[in-house]
């Protein structure tokens, strides 16, 4: 009995697609988590307009350095 329409044990491509989707979701959550903590740390150190200037500098530095 097939769990849902279109599923077959002969198509491992669906399993690979599922693994790819789960992996991308996990990668996205790790990136969002790191970004949240980096922005929170900047917000604790800098107030007002200084925060936005440092956030811009942080983003540009990360884009140029690749990490």
**Domains of the chain by residue range:** 34-67
Are 66 and 57 spatial neighbours (Cβ–Cβ below 8 Å)?
no
Write the CB contacts of 43 (distance below 8 Å, at least 6 apart in sequence).
51
CA dihedral (53, 56, 57, 58) positive or negative: positive
> Between 54 and 7, whose confidence is greater?
54
**Total-model pTM:** 0.62
Separation of alpha carbons 38 and 34, rounded Å: 6
**Per-residue pLDDT, 9:** 61
Percentage helix, strand, coil for the chain under 3-state DSSP, each rounded to 5 = 80, 0, 20
**Per-residue pLDDT, 13:** 82
């Amino acid at each position: 009995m097939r769990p849902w329409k279109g599923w077959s044990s002969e198509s491992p491509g669906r399993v690979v697609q599922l693994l790819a989707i789960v992996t991308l979701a996990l990668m996205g959550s790790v990136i969002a988590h790191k970004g949240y903590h980096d922005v929170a740390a900047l917000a604790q150190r800098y107030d007002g307009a200084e925060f936005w200037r440092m956030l811009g500098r942080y983003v540009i530095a990360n884009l140029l350095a690749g990490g």
